[in-house]
Every structure is written in C-alpha cells, then in structure tokens.
Structure 1
Amino acid sequence: MRALQILLLLVLGTHLTLAQERPAPPSKDSLKIKMRDSVMAARDSLINKSRKKEDEKTLLTIKDYKIISIDRDTSFVDTSQSIQKDYKYNYLRRDHFELMPFSNVGQAYNRLSHNFEQYLPYPQLGATARQFAYYEVDRINYYNVPTPLTELMFKTTFEQGQFLDALLAVNTSRRFNFSLAYTGMRSVGKYQDDQAELGRFRTTFNYVTANNRYWIRGHYAYQDLENQENGGILESSQAAQFESGDPEFQDRSRIDVTYQNTDSRVVGRRYFLDHQYNIVRPKKDSLETRSTLLSVGHRLMYETRFFQFLQDSQADSFGEAFDTPINDKARLQSFYNEASVNFSNPTWGTLSGRLSHYHYNYRLESILIQDDGSVIPNTMEGEEILLGGFYENRIGGLHLKGDVQYALSSELTGNQYDFYAGYQLGENLSLYGRLKATSRMPNFNTLLYQSEYSNFNWDNRAAFDKQQRRAIEAGLNAGKWGSAKVEFNTIENYTYFELDPEIPLQEVVDGNINAFVSPQQEEGTVNYFKVEYQNELKWRRWSLDNRILYQEVGQENQVFNVPQLVTRNSLYYSKWVFDKAMFLQTGVTLKYFTKYNMDGYHPLLGELYTQNREELGGFPMLDFFINARVRQTRIFLKAEHFNSGFGENNFYSAPNYPYRDFVIRFGLVWNFFS
C-alpha cells in the first residue's frame, strides 16, 4: 500500500510539472474538472483521515505483548530498567532477598526467612534444598502476542561455563499462541568437585475459539538439575586454609574438601492441561462490563520427579554403607485431575466449585529388612479426593477473595482455607488482611526413606502427624512512603531435619556431622512473627532503595532458626546519557543479616537441617553494579562481594560451605519484537 502511494505521488508530481511547463487557458470544462477534483480531494482527505485513525487503533504497543499466569493474571513484557530488575537478574530469575546463595551458581540456597506463600497442599518428593530453581506449575507463563517475541538472558558464571535462558513466543493467529523456552547453565565453580549444570525445557500453548465459548492451554516441562557434591571444606581445614587468609589458598581449588566423585541430580517431567467451556457465553454490554458467565472447567497434570545421589565409594562422613558404589534414588509419580463449575456476574462476583482427585506413587529402590527383623517398605501409594470452592468480588474499592478445601477421602492432606480482604483508600494508599490455615503430612522423604548408608533408613508414617499452620497477615501500601507487611504464624507438628544434639563434639570432625542427621517432628508449637518494610527514597537523580525484615520465633526447643534482622539497601544514580540513547544506573547494594544458628546442608538428602552448634552470619555483602538500557536491551555489570578481601574470612552460606569471594560478572537481557 505504501509503495502504491509513493507511485501515485510520483505520477501526480510529474503531471503537475508538465502542466507548469505548458499552461492551458481556462475553460468551462476545466472549471468543472477543478470542482470535481476538489470534491474528490475532500472525500479522499476524509478517507485518509479515517484510515489514519484505523491505523492508530491497530498500532502495536508493548502492552499488546501479554504474559498470562496460571491464575490468569495478565501482565505485559516490560523492557524498562529499574533496581527491581537488578534484584531479579540471577540464576532463579526472581528476587532472592530471603535466600543466601552458595559459592557456585546452581547450588543450594540457605533460608534467611520462611515464606509459606507457595505452600503446596500435598507432600512433595523432598530434596527441597536442591529444587529452588525447579519450575513448579505456577512458574510457567503463557503468552498472547501479536507478533513473534524473543527474549534472551545471558550471564557469566564461575570459571568455565555460562548461563543462558531463551524464550520464543509466536502467534499463528489471534486465537492460537505457543512458546518454546530453554535454560542451559554450566558452572565449574571455585572449589574442587563443585560443578553445577542445569537444563530446563518448556513449551506452552493456548487457544480460544472464534465464538469465545471454549479455551484451552497447556504446557510440557523437562528439567534436569545436576551437581557435583564435595561436602564442603574439611572441618580441620577451615581455620588453617580458608579462615587464615593464607595467600596459598586464595586459589580456592587448593582447599581440602570432604569428599570427591559424588553427584546429586533432580529430574522432572510434567504434562499440564487446563481447559474451559462457557455454557453461557460472555458478552459486552453498553457499559463495557462482562455479563453473566457460566462455565465448566477441567485441569489435568501428570508429573514424574526423582532425586538421585551417586557416589563411587563410601564416605566416612555418612557412616557405614551396606554396599558400594552408592546409588540412592527416590521417585514420585503424581496424577492430578480437577473438575470445576464456574459462575461470574458483575454484581455477585466470581464463584466456583471444584472436585479434585490426586493419585501418588512414591518409590524407593528396594525393600530393606533390618537386623531386628523389621521391614522398611519401598513404596507409598494412594489417592486423595478433595472438594473445594473459590469466591472473588470487587465492590468499589473493596476486594474480597476466599478459597476453601475440604478433604472427602484423604490421608496426606486436610481441610484448608485462605481468606483475603483488601481495600483501596486512594490512588496511592491501600491495605489488606489475610487469614490462612493449612494441614498436610510432611514431605515423603521424611516419612519413608532408604539409602545404602545404614543411618539413612526410616519409616515414620505411623509416628508423624499432619503439620498444621495457621497465619494472620496484614499489609499497607502507602505509595512514596513505602509498604509494610506483618505476619504471625503458628505451626504445630513442625517437621524438620536435625543434627542430633547428643552427638559428642569429638565425633564431629571432618564432615562426620552428616552421619547424624535425621527427620524429627516438634511436639510443641512454633510461633513465628515477621514484619517487613520496603521503601525507595529519591532525590534528583539519586535513589536509596531499602528492604528490612525483622523476625522473632517463640518455641520450646530450638528447632526453627532464622536471623533476627535481614536488610538490603541500594544507593544508586540514574541518568540518560548519549543524547538519551542509553539509560544508566550505577550504585552499591549492601545485604546483611545478623548472626544465628544457620541451617546446615546435607548432600545425601538434598536438604537443609537444623543445627545449634555454631552461629554464622553477621558479615556485610557489598556489590557494585552498573546497569544500562539501550532500546529493548538491558545490560548488567556487577562486582559481587567486593569487600571480601577487606576483613576476616568468616563468610559462610552454611556450616563448612563458604560464600563466594569477590568476582566480576556481566550479562544482558535482550527482547526482540518481530
């Protein structure tokens, strides 16, 4: 069309030029032609204006590239640069304020706080310390894009290897969209036998019929997280090699580790399908609000996941072994079916009822007959049937939401509820309150486990009860004054892994501490209180972003350990440079948490465990960063923990596991819109 317009302009221009060269006398016919041409020109002008308006309506913006969550919350691709983007530019691709990374990318994380927001209703496989990067159903997004969208994330790792996360979202029509994504990572690390690898493939699709009566979406995900395990540095080597600051051991690969030739691996495959048929089709009325909707829905998920621990020969740190090489493997197969009926109305809100069926099959490698003749079986299999309901409505500035679940036939889970009420007091002022209660059995690996190591075989199915948690939460968002959140939790039958406090200290040397870790259940009630405040202060081009978390725990026995204070403060400068071709942010981030009995990491179980023998923490972590945005490209350069050489070598992520030294890393996030 544009080429045709250019051709017409050239023809008209040539015609006008020739007319100027050979003028003709006016006549009646020429006057008629001029009048006709003026009418035609006026009409064409109106047509062109109309087409221009239509073109303006069809002009694409960044908000047309939509991202849809599992709960059907919709956002759009955001190519802006901010300090929040810097916090999310990491291996997990989310803000890990409440986590403490280990020395290498792709390893475990320690918890600086307990967040029950993602508390799943059913017991999980276990190996929780190894699955922070595992994408559950709620981490998979669906896309609705007018043209193909590509996003590439790249970041350097430690020593050999790189991190790359690539996404392609395509629409074959307005009604059908699909996406392909792959994450690949390899990092050798600074210490011996510390390599980490990740492979994560995801593909999604979503489709809506032309009459909007039926929609369907689904995804397939394959995830493989593999780590070499070294058990941390030797107890006897901590002071002599790491903490002493001896220049010989600045090359961390020279520091002695507990063992070698050991690997752990988490692999998962998941098929997910969600679809809905609208019995009463939604329509638009004159006020542009949705009319009454009645629909039926169905959700299906099948997933297999396993955790494997491999070791060439026995390690004394885990005690005696039945046989070598070590090949411990725990597998969970789960099949979930849910049918729902949904009703929504502009006045009454959204109401839905659901009936769900959950089948699980947890398997270990073999049946174990102990010396006393008792048998530890190798399977847990069963079915759960639950009835649930959901309600949501907005009345003016009031937002109400509730979700309840009742167990019709269940051994693993119990009744649960979640009630939320929020109120918008003004444009920049809102508050909310929330009540939540959950009840379910602890993870499978605490109930039943088998290993080639004799100390790690147990059957707690009859001994452990359902873990129950009740929480009350309130929050306030005051715009430029910041946001605050208060949360109080009571936990009964808290289940955890613990280092046996009765083991004499003389027996706990050179990693032997790992041989005395087992699952426990606390008989008393754990009361957990946390209050959090966030705010960003701005002055001209300078900004100070603050996030502070204060925590208190009330308990009969010391089984639930968190630091009392966690803080993160970023002072940075922002400016457009190069004639506003680049947006630049540069500054310093401080993260700090007070000393506490930091959880230990157990490679054989892939779990964090409670220990009360030593306090760690109380050291600052300073990062210097330079971030920039050029068009749709965001560039990140960071000097991590640059203060590590200024003080004592007392920085640990867990007992025997030092935190990372000073390192410079860089990378980018690049969006393409075809």
Structure 2
Amino acid sequence: MSKTFQIKKNQLTLKSVLVSVFVCLVIQINGQNRLKGIGGTLPVRENDSVKNNRLNERRGGKTDGKDEKANIKDYLIISVKNDTTHVDTTLTIRKDYKFNYLRKDNFGLIPFANLGQTYNSLTYDFQTTGLMPSFGARARHFNYKEIEDVYYYRVPTPLTELFYRSAFEQGQLADSFITINTSPQFNFSIGYKGLRSLGKYQNALTSTGNFSFTSNYQTKNKRYNARGHILTQDLMNQENGGLDPESVQNFIGGDEEFDDRSILEVNFENAENILLGKRFHLEHDYKLIQKDSLSKNEIKIGHIISFEDKYFQFEQSSSVSSFFGESFVASDIKDRATLENFYNKVYVNYSNDILGDLHFNISNNNYNYGYDKVVVLEGGNTITNRLKGNIFAAGGGYKKQYKGFQLDGEFGLNISGDFSGNFIKATATFKLNDDIAASATLNHSSKAPNYNTLLYQSDYKNYNWNNSFNNTETQQLAFNLRYKQLANITVDLNTITDYVYWKQDETVSDITQAIRPYQNGGTITYLRAKLENEIKVGKFALNNTVLYQNVQDDANSLNVPEITTRNTLYFSSQLFKKAMFLQTGVTLNYFTKYYMNSYNPLLAEFYVQNSEEIGDFPRLDFFINAKIRQTRIFLKAEHFNSSFGENTFFSAPANPYRDFTIRFGLAWNFFM
C-alpha cells in the first residue's frame, strides 16, 4: 500500500465520517417525532437528569399540563454478560484516564510514540476462560474489538456521541456513534472510529478504522430476545524497526540538532503491517417458562452463532532488510496469516428464586488457520500451511445471590478435537453496603498457545516453524477489598506452567533480529498487589493507583517492573454560576527499571530481552478539563517534563516514548 494511496484513503475516511455525522443528526431531528411509547429528553443540568421536553406539544397534540421526562438512567448500556449500566455525561478524573485512543483506562500500558501504534505491557492478567488458541499478532490487538468489547443499547430517545482528539502531525482521531430505539422492543446502533496520524518519526504513519453495527430485539411479552453485531476492523501501521543504534545514542545525547525527530535514522523505511477482521455475531434465546406471580421458575434455551474472518499481513516493498536476516526472495516481502473461525453454541438456563441460576452449554469451533503455500526449507524439510479442524466443548455455570452474598461459577472443557483445554472459575462476593465489598476468585485454565507460536511462515528464513507445544496452565487466586473511595485493594497470586514466550534465537547473530517462540518448562510464580484510592480535601483531590509486582522465574521469560504508579493531584470547581464544571491538575506516571520487552514488527509481538533495563523516568501531564452542558473538553500538555529532563524515556528498546506535546479533544453527547 503506497503512502499516496493511504493519504487519499484517509481523506475519504474523514469525509465519510463527517457526512455520517451529519446524516445521524438529520435522522435524530426528523425521526424523533416518529418514536412512540418512549419519553422525551433534553438533558440540561449538571446532575445529568433529562427532562422538560414537551413531546405532546411538539407532536401537535394536547397536553395535560405535565412534562414528560426521561432520566439519564433510562439510557442503558448492556454488556455481553448482560451487565447493565447507563450513560454517564459527568466529568470525573476517571473520564480523563479513559480519554485516549483505546477509550479505556490504560494504566499498566505505555504507548509508542505515535497514536495508533502498539502499547508495551507493564503488567499481565492470567485469568482466562478461553478454550481456543488466540490468533497471534497480539501487539496489534489493543484496538481490536473482541466480542466482549461490544455493547448493546436501549434508549428512550436517540443518543449520539461525537469524540475527537488531535493526533501527531497531519491527522486526527474521530469516533462517532448513534443509537436509536425505533420502538420499545428494537434498538440499533452505528459507530465508526477512524484515525490517521503521521507521527514524529520516519515511516510511522498509522491508519485505523473500526466500524460497528449492533441491534437488539425483545418481544412485548419478553419471552424472546435477540442481539447481534457486525464488525469490520482495519488497523494499519507503517513500521520502521525502531531507531538504529547510532540514532539511539543521538536521541539519548539530547543534542538540539535531533529535537526534530524526523531526522533520526530508523532501521528501515519500506514496511507496514495490517490487521483486518470481519465478524458476524448473533445470540438469541427463548423462555419456555417465564417467571411471574404464579411461577418462581424460569427455563430458557438459547443459541449463539459467530463467524470471524481475519488476517495479519507484513509487507515490505522494494529491497528486503538484513534486519530480519536472509530471505527466500530479493524484494517485495508479503507474509499473510489468515484465520476463519465459525462458532456455534446452544445452551439451557434454569432459574429458581431459591436454588439460583443453573447453566449448561455445548459448543463447536470450526477453525482454519494458516497460509496459502507449503514452505520447503534448506535440507528438504517442509512447513505445513494449515491448522484446521473442529473442537467440541461442554460447559456450565451457577449463580446464586442471597442478601449480601453472591456466588458465581463456570467451567468449560474441550471434549473432542486436536486442541485440548479446560477452565474453571469461581467467585464469592460479599457486599455489606454500597461502600464496603469484598470478593475472592479462583481460576484454573489449560489452553493451547497462540496459533502463530504453533505455525508460522515467512519469506524471511528465520521465521518459519511448526511447533508442538504443551498447553499453558495457569492458576490464579485473587482477592479484592473495596471501602468507599478510600481503598480498593486487589491482590492476585498466579502460577504459570509451560509458559510460551518470544525471544531472540541464540544461534543467530545478535545483529539480526530472529525471534522465535519458546516454552518455559518450569513454573513461574507471579504476585500482583494494586491499591487504588482517592483523598479529597475541599475542592482538591489526590487520586492514586500503585501496583507492586514480583516474579519468581528461573528462565527470565516474564519481565515486569516491580513498582508502577499513577498519581493525580487535581482541583475541581463549578464556575460561571454552574454553567461550567472545571477540573485541572497534574498526573505523574512512573515505573521502576526492568528488562522491558522489545518489539518485533514482522510478528507484531513483544519478545523478551535481558540485556537492557528501561524505566525509572517520570512522565508528567498537565491537564485542564471542562464540562459545558453535555460537552466535555480535554486539554493536556503531555510529558511536559521531557523538555528539561534526560532523554531516557523509551516505550521499548530503540523505540522512544513521546516528547512534550499539547493535545486537544472533546466528547459531545446529543439527547434529542
């Protein structure tokens, strides 16, 4: 994909986003009067209540002198697990933490220099309930929406959200979204998040797009429910392999000549990778027996069907780079791994007011991962091109709530197919009141490693393998204690056996990056303890998140910093007769030195290195955030201390973190 084509593509993308936003607004304005049986809304006050909308007068009908009202809590957001929250247009410090490319709190991650590039992980969560291998290319999946990342909606009136944030050099990040209930029974939503950012360094352009369409339906008697989504995702990054060794030294030296980062030399300037995915997902259920005043039992049968087609491609035009070693071809590298996964699941739920909720399911995964050709290595050995087959699994769950206690449990087991796997998870929660709660969780998992560790093909000779690894087994015991805003403490102890990781092939020269998967046959012990709290004194507050980690691993295959912390001191106040709400302050991010993982763009994976320690540099951000009606405005001076500190800040070896920059953004909700 040429740069010219990519720029034109992004110009068209921006135009299409603006047109779609305009169309959404027209739909809202013209379609509002056609809604029946739903209260109107006009959110105008700081407490975010939605009221004072005279629908009858607007429809030309008679009124009884009373205003129809819809509360902000009527705008429901429903997760894949049926957990329900409501739209929140308040401005809090948590909103500042989530105002980023991922649209979620990224504590424990450190981004690369350009918006839309990957993130290095400072912590890992080994709690999982998966039974199938993951696709691979995990460094490109931070902005890839999985099934659990999709939400469904139910709203009394159309709701729109517009999100914008400035990027780095000739670009922007925009996220537009609209959801409408055409009737109390049917809702749909359309969303698109698009990004283009050129970046400060050579060959670092990012261009991403996430389109989503969701819908959910419920019959009037509430017996039948259906929801589904269509998702297409296109995530492209130009890749440069990081700074070359001489430029790394020039960067660290701090010479003003190199303050223009575009003159620093990178390892190559002719490569890009792309992750593209399409998913069609539907889940529906029918209540054979429904709870009512006469029956305390409920029996529900359900079905889930999901098809996902995705590929990851690394492309390097013109001459190949010695950075990855020798190749089978002289130019035009194009490595593409594909996965087609077709998933079916049928289940039955039984619910009783006394016994609780019981669940049982049977599922099938039809998978087809691989490449279009068989690779013949030197010596005549061949690398197969496909891993495909069927996996049948069974699972179940139990849930019971009694007063302040709640028990949750689930299990799954692959019963046939080439991949074995199982998991069991149990959680006990005690909630004394709205201020005090405690929980304990036990999780065991055995799962095959990712597809790309088992099979990989490339035009580069060092990147071809067909492995038979053991399942990675993990056990996690976790505790959580929450007391108001003063303390939220989470501790988890993990043991990991047969951990699969990436590192440099020791038989290849260090000058060449030849990364391969390895399996640690020993047992890793991994402890995490996190404290979150907020202390308020008048209009000032101090918000703290501190993470302690300890790893016992003889193979040094899992590296994390011992201490990671984020501390925000900020001021909040109503201004101009409560017409505007203001928050301003400073956020400190810091982690101790450790052997930070390095990045391989051909695989889109992070790999272990034990030669260079990185960390021990503070990152200070100054922010001014404001809320006017339903508009939240964010202005931030990011990493402002870089202009007077040492240049030791890196997101990965040879990949510097961001310099001081000022960025602007806003999130704007419309309630019609």
1:604, 1:385 → 2: CA distance?
Answer: 33
1:332 maps to which of 335, 339, 342: 339
Give the corresponding residue for 1:321: 327
Unaligned 5+ runs, structure 2: 1-62
2:156, 2:296 → 1: CA distance?
Answer: 27
2:507, 2:594 → 1: CA distance?
Answer: 20
Give the corresponding residue for 2:272: 263
Question: Which of structure 1's runs of 4+ aligned residues deviate more than 4 A?
Answer: none
1:107 maps to which of 117, 120, 130: 117
Give the corresponding residue for 2:290: 281
Q: How far apart are residue 501 of structure 1 and its match? A: 4.8
Aligned-partner SS, 2:419: coil
Q: How far apart are residue 502 of structure 1 and its match? A: 6.1
Aligned-partner SS, 1:524: strand
Unaligned 5+ runs, structure 1: 1-49
Whether 2:257 is the aligned partner of 1:248: answer yes
> Residues 524, 191 of structure 1: CA spacing in aligned structure 2 closer, same or farther, 3 A cutoff?
same
Give the corresponding residue for 1:22: none
1:668, 1:116 → 2: CA distance?
Answer: 34
**What per-residue deviation string (whole Å, max 9, x for no partner) do you get for residues 482-526 of structure 1?**
1101100010110011123566xxx534xx3x2x21100001001
Give the corresponding residue for 1:508: 510
Q: How far apart are residue 145 of structure 1 and its match? A: 0.7
2:208 maps to which of 198, 206, 209: 198
1:209, 1:90 → 2: CA distance?
Answer: 38
Aligned-partner SS, 1:525: strand
Taking the TM superposition and a 5 Å limit, the aligned residue runs for 1:42-81 are: 59-81=69-91
Q: How far apart are residue 291 of structure 1 and its match? A: 3.6
1:103 partner letter = A
**What per-residue deviation string (whole Å, max 9, x for no partner) do you get for residues 217-276 of structure 1?**
10000000000000100012211x211111111000000010011110000000000000
Give the corresponding residue for 1:150: 160
Tell whether the 8 Å contact from 2:131 to 2:422 is kept in structure 1 after alignment.
no
Give the corresponding residue for 1:550: 548
Give the corresponding residue for 1:600: 598
TM-score, length of structure 2 as denominator length: 0.89
Give the corresponding residue for 2:500: 495
1:300 maps to which of 301, 305, 318: 305
Q: Larger radius of gyration, structure 1 or 2?
A: 1
1:429, 1:156 → 2: CA distance?
Answer: 40
Q: How far apart are residue 372 of structure 1 and its match? A: 1.9
Aligned-partner SS, 1:371: coil
Give the corresponding residue for 2:458: 451
Give the corresponding residue for 2:571: 573
1:63, 1:304 → 2: CA distance?
Answer: 37
Give the corresponding residue for 2:43: none
1:171, 1:89 → 2: CA distance?
Answer: 27
Aligned-partner SS, 2:453: helix
2:488 maps to which of 468, 477, 483: 483
1:198, 1:304 → 2: CA distance?
Answer: 17
**What per-residue deviation string (whole Å, max 9, x for no partner) do you get for residues 48-76 of structure 1?**
xx956xx57x5201011111110111111
1:470 maps to which of 468, 472, 475: 475
Whether 2:308 is the aligned partner of 1:310: answer no
1:250 partner letter = D
- RMSD of equivalent CA atoms: 1.4
Q: How far apart are residue 118 of structure 1 and its match? A: 5.7
2:433, 2:170 → 1: CA distance?
Answer: 52
> Residues 197, 526 of structure 1: CA spacing in aligned structure 2 closer, same or farther, 3 A cutoff?
same
Taking the TM superposition and a 5 Å limit, the aligned residue runs for 1:98-247 are: 98-117=108-127, 120-239=130-249, 241-247=250-256
Aligned-partner SS, 2:572: strand
**What per-residue deviation string (whole Å, max 9, x for no partner) do you get for residues 108-158 of structure 1?**
100100023466331111000111000000111101011110001000000
2:424, 2:379 → 1: CA distance?
Answer: 44
Aligned-partner SS, 2:561: coil
Give the corresponding residue for 2:622: 624
1:670, 1:135 → 2: CA distance?
Answer: 22
**What per-residue deviation string (whole Å, max 9, x for no partner) do you get for residues 398-447 of structure 1?**
01000011221133241210000000123311110000011111000000
Aligned-partner SS, 1:237: helix
Give the corresponding residue for 1:662: 660
1:439 partner letter = S
Aligned-partner SS, 1:105: coil
Aligned-partner SS, 1:456: coil
1:645 maps to which of 618, 643, 646: 643
1:598, 1:152 → 2: CA distance?
Answer: 36
Give the corresponding residue for 2:47: none
Q: How far apart are residue 347 of structure 1 and its match? A: 1.6
Give the corresponding residue for 1:6: none
2:668 partner letter = W
Tell whether the 8 Å contact from 2:131 to 2:414 is kept in structure 1 after alignment.
no
Give the corresponding residue for 2:559: 561
Aligned residues: 608
TM-score, length of structure 1 as denominator length: 0.89
1:594 partner letter = T
Tell whether the 8 Å contact from 1:328 to 1:365 is kept in structure 2 after alignment.
no
Aligned-partner SS, 2:522: coil
1:208 partner letter = Q
2:477 partner letter = I
Q: How far apart are residue 393 of structure 1 and its match? A: 1.0
Q: How far apart are residue 91 of structure 1 and its match? A: 0.4
1:105, 1:156 → 2: CA distance?
Answer: 9
% identical aligned pairs: 45
1:382 maps to which of 389, 411, 415: 389
Tell whether the 8 Å contact from 1:208 to 1:216 is kept in structure 2 after alignment.
yes
2:314, 2:485 → 1: CA distance?
Answer: 49
**What per-residue deviation string (whole Å, max 9, x for no partner) do you get for residues 27-56 of structure 1?**
xxxxxxxxxxxxxxxxxxxxxxx956xx57
Aligned-partner SS, 1:523: strand
> Residues 568, 541 of structure 1: CA spacing in aligned structure 2 closer, same or farther, 3 A cutoff?
same
Give the corresponding residue for 1:433: 440
**What per-residue deviation string (whole Å, max 9, x for no partner) do you get for residues 339-391 of structure 1?**
00011122221111000001100021310112222211100001111110011
